[in-house]
Amino acid sequence: MIPTCTSTMSILRGMAADPYGDVADNGTVAASGIPGSVLEQSPRSNTSRVDGAPRTVRRYTCRLPVWVDVQDDDQVRDDTTGYTYAIVQIKTNRNPATGRRITLDLIRVS
């Protein structure tokens, strides 16, 4: 299967102190208009360690061109849907059919 770009992405970078002095993402756009795709993977259900309540964790996979400068502490925004994702893992894949791609494992934060 050859991945198809279904959206444009923006890379959000940077931290700032919130009104309480805690460090939080400030959402500064480091790059925009990047062709890519976000696909939801099968959700995983588990229980919370704190209260034992059941939780469903939805994970997503994002594919980007290899020339994109992305770092572990960045966030990715899907400009089509407006959803923002935190990066869990960055992988660079080599595929003879599609060429090199960056694959990101994501969790949606908004």
Tens digits of per-residue pLDDT, 53-84?
777 778 999 999 889 999 999 999 999 999 99
Of the two residues 16 and 90, the one the predictor is more confident about is 90
At 93, the pLDDT band (50, 70, 90 cuts) reads confident
What is the residue extent of each domain of the chain? Answer: 7-43+56-108
Q: How confident is the prediction for the chain on average, in pLDDT? A: 85
The whole-number pLDDT of residue 6 equals 85
Residue type, 55: R
At 1, the pLDDT band (50, 70, 90 cuts) reads very low
Residues 6 or more apart in contact with residue 8 via CB below 8 angstroms: 32, 33, 34, 35, 36, 79, 80
Class of domain 7-43+56-108: mainly beta
| CB 14, CB 73: distance < 8 Å | no
pTM score, whole prediction: 0.80
Q: Which of 16-20, 38-42, 43-47 has the lowest mean pLDDT?
A: 43-47
The whole-number pLDDT of residue 48 equals 66
